[in-house]
A and B are shown apart, each in its own frame.
Chain A
Amino acid sequence: EDQVTQSPEALRLQEGESSSLNCSYTVSGLRGLFWYRQDPGKGPEFLFTLYSAGEEKEKERLKATLTKKESFLHITAPKPEDSATYLCAVQAAGNQFYFGTGTSLTVIP
């Protein structure tokens, strides 16, 4: 069964304290792995797509990486405005996207 697991569930960081979020997955025929940011009461906002193991994408303080079993979202020197829930999703052989439960990130000034 296709499955996506994110860890940790919640993460509190001091401003400037770098860390990583994990997304592990088991899918048959990965077509893509996606990272989203979601602010309270809003829809998820697209961040990155990764298609194959070894691929990396960067945007400002965020960097996403992909292996055959997991993806990491690295946050370098975070700021309070990076506080949000970060969601990981995978698309398998069909056209469904399966989401994890997210990591709630709080960055303290």
Chain B
Amino acid sequence: DTGVSQDPRHKITKRGQNVTFRCDPISEHNRLYWYRQTLGQGPEFLTYFQNEAQLEKSRLLSDRFSAERPKGSFSTLEIQRTEQGDSAMYLCASSDTGTGGMRTGELFFGEGSRLTVL
């Protein structure tokens, strides 16, 4: 399978603990995105990378959240000192740069990592 893979699929943790999620994008895609989704809502943008560079980060993103993409391949999203409000599905997506000009590549999503903070 050459799709986007995320690990773990489910994580239950206690408030105050740190958690880390991993995303392996489609191998030829140079862009990688992290989104958060809660029940009944659409995905909310967190951050995105082009190759290894983190180019944009949501203003709403707490400094407890950090993401990395060493060597422009897989990415990790770490949440420090988790809070109950962090409970959500964390989605990773990748894309290429499109067909040239203004056209852009669509996002391909993984199955998500569901976080429950007790």
Contacts and interface: CB of A to CB of B under 8 A. Distances in A.
Nearest to A30: B102
Interface residues of B, number: 27
B104 A45 contact: no
B10 to A, nearest CB: 10
A59 interface: no
Contacts of A87: 42-43
A16 B85 CA distance: 41
B104 A91 contact: yes
A31 B42 contact: no
Contacts of A97: 33, 45, 107
Interface string A64-102: 000000000000000000000001010100111111111
B106 A46 contact: yes
B110 A43 contact: yes
B42 A101 contact: yes
A46 B108 contact: yes
B112 A94 contact: no
- 5 closest pairs, A vs B, by CB? A99-B42, A43-B109, A101-B42, A99-B43, A44-B109
Interface of B: 4, 31, 33, 35, 40-45, 48, 50, 55-56, 91, 93, 102-104, 106-112, 114
Given A31-B104, A99-B42, A102-B42, 20 more contacts: A31-B103, A32-B103, A32-B104, A41-B112, A41-B114, A43-B4, A43-B93, A43-B109, A44-B107, A45-B109, A46-B107, A87-B43, A89-B42, A89-B43, A95-B48, A96-B45, A96-B48, A97-B33, A99-B43, A101-B41
